[in-house]
Amino acid sequence: MNYNEILIGPIKQLVGLSEVPIRGALANDALIIEEDIWLHLKDGKLHKKLNKSDAYNADLEVLELVKDHIVLPGFIDAHTHICFHGSRSKDYAMRNAGISYLEIAKAGGGIWDTVTHTRNASQEELVEGILDRVDVLITRGITTVEVKSGYGLSVKEELKMLRAIKEANSKTQIDLIPTCLAAHIKPRDFEGSHAEYLDYIIDELFPILVEEKLCKRVDAFIEEEAFSGNVVYRYFAKARELGFDITVHADQFHPGGSRVAIEHEALSADHLEASTNAEIIALAKSNTVAMALPGASIGLGCAFTPARKILDANGILAIASDWNPGSAPMGDLLTQACILGTFEKLSNPEVLAGITKRAAKALDLNDRGYIDIGLKADLLFFEGKDYNEVFYHQGKKLPDMVFKNGKLIYKK
């Protein structure tokens, strides 16, 4: 079948989200649902929407849907760490036995354990691992995924990770959005201070990132066991000067990181489990996206991001999986988003917007996240009559077909 130009239908329900605002709460009836629609895809984008009579008169190659289908925008997982090697199953067992995340890290586990395994892996092994995880993501409806470095923690090893992400992106049909997280923690084998380590990254790594075009995004973990807001000030300022977008691991165990994100006009502040009303109000007044990571809450057994309060304050809420080998090994965005919705009392439109349109905002992507004429045809086809069924089954109802850039890349 020639996917450069194709007509698909009839679609029982098309939930496009073009009318959905970027910020604020959404009622259950907030969505415009189009019924019995045909989609004309051309050159990787949505070209037209047609009714039944116009579709039957169109002289196009047709993919006719025999059963009822719901069509949603392709899901966007805007915060992951799927470039890694090794397992942290022992960490999981220790946490469930009552040992805290920070105590495990101090004892030699945690992030540094993954750093050791990732450093020992070749670039080829990292690429293979990324592609294996991407294959899983595609079956779950992910058409765009952000991927962080941060388990290298030296110029050589961070470059290996980012080059692996770039190589993997060239070998998969979905989009991998790379982020440099060299400021994850200060590596144990670096003898200087936190500030000196960041200066080393600025001087030695940043120029290569620009030269090789390895990423456009820089992240830092603002936390007691990582970096303070004061010490990252120059780091973020230099990143902005070089044209990088900023994102921040913020307020995971203690508040404060979200303020740093706002000050540096970060695209997103991610985690926010420890955010208080002051942080929530500040985020809601800013253009920084509040990124909930329910996978980390599930993995660590801690509170969820105060998503309901963020939306009620008119903030911008996105939801991502945080897939990583330590605190969030599940890597199942839809399931995690549905669980967050249950505990935080989010409407289905709020959950859906959080993993599509508002997630695109967190990555500064204007060509996807909702379904409209001229945008990328990143589309999910679920068998059924009502889009609420997708969320009712809490991640167990998976797409029958996944389209990326107008081409069928997965069929159940």
Residue 102 has what pLDDT?
76
The pLDDT, as a whole number, for residue 116 is 95
Q: Quick one: pLDDT band at residue 120, thresholds 50, 70, 90?
A: very high
Same domain assignment for residues 121 and 64: no
Q: Average pLDDT for residues 306-324, to the nearest whole number?
A: 98
d(CA 248, CA 235): 12
pLDDT at 2 over 90: no
Confidence of residue 124 (pLDDT cuts 50, 70, 90): very high
- β-pairing verdict for 142-148 and 175-183: parallel
Q: Per mean pLDDT, which range of 67-76, 85-94, 264-273 is the poorest? A: 85-94
Average pLDDT over residues 365-377: 98
Beta strands in 55-191 (DSSP E): 62-64, 69-73, 75-77, 142-148, 175-183
The range of the structural domain enclosing residue 269 comes to 76-362
Same domain, 90 and 53: no
Write down which residue in 362, 380, 396 finishes a domain: 362
pLDDT category of residue 109 using cuts at 50, 70 and 90: confident
* pLDDT at residue 197 in the model: 98
pLDDT of residue 256: 96
Mean of all residue pLDDT scores within the chain: 96
Would you state the pLDDT for residue 224?
86
Query: Averaged over 317-324, what is the pLDDT?
Result: 98
Q: Do both 19 and 151 map to the same domain?
A: no
Q: Do 113 and 182 share a structural domain?
A: yes
Task: Check whether residue 60 and residue 97 sit in a common domain.
Answer: no
Instruction: Flag whether pLDDT at 101 surpasses 90.
Output: no
Given this model, what pLDDT does residue 135 score? 98
Domain closes at, from 343, 362, 381: 362
Please check whether residues 66 and 81 belong to one and the same domain: no
3-class secondary structure for 277-346? HHHHHHHHCCCCEEEECHHHHHHHCCCCCCHHHHHHCCCCEEECCCCCCCCCCCCCHHHHHHHHHHHHCC
Q: Pick the residue with more confidence: 207 or 102? A: 207
Inter-CA distances, 35 with 11, 15, 26, 388, Å? 7, 9, 21, 15
- CB 88, CB 332: distance < 8 Å: no
Question: Closest Cα to residue 332, out of 82, 137, 86?
Answer: 137
CATH number at 307 reads 3.20.20.140
Q: What is the CATH number of the domain that holds 399?
A: 2.30.40.10
Chain position carrying tokens 């942290």? 88
12, 89: one domain: no
Position 399 scores a pLDDT of 98
62 and 83 fall within a common domain: no
With a threshold of 0.95, does the pTM exceed it?
yes
Residue that finishes a domain, picked among 362, 383, 402: 362
Q: Give the alpha-carbon dihedral of 18, 25, 178, 219, to 10 degrees.
A: 150
| Cα dist from 362 to 45, 177, 178, 291, whole Å | 22, 12, 13, 8
- Reduce the secondary structure of 127-142 to three states and give it as a string: HHHHHHHHHHHHHCCE
- pLDDT digit string, tens, across residues 349-361: 999 999 999 999 9
Q: Give yes or no for residue 284 having a pLDDT over 80.
A: yes
Question: φ, ψ for residue 38 (rounded to 5)?
Answer: -110, 145
**Judgement on whether residues 287 and 393 belong to the same structural domain of the protein:** no
Across the range 21-27, mean pLDDT stands at: 98
Same domain, 161 and 14: no
For residues 268 and 379, membership in a common domain is answered with: no
Looking up tokens 């077909």, which residue turns up?
401
Least confident interval from 102-111, 233-242, 319-328: 102-111
Contact between residue 406 and residue 387 where contact means Cβ atoms under 8 Å apart: no
The whole-number pLDDT of residue 107 equals 75
Q: Tell me, yes or no, whether 158 and 124 share the same domain.
A: yes
Q: Structural domain tally of the chain?
A: 2
Looking at residue 171, its pLDDT comes to 98
Distance CA 355, CA 177 (A): 15
CA distance 261 to 256: 9
Q: What is the pLDDT of residue 105?
A: 77
Percentage of the residues of the chain whose pLDDT score is greater than 90: 91
Q: Which residues contact 285 (CB under 8 A, 6 or more apart)?
A: none
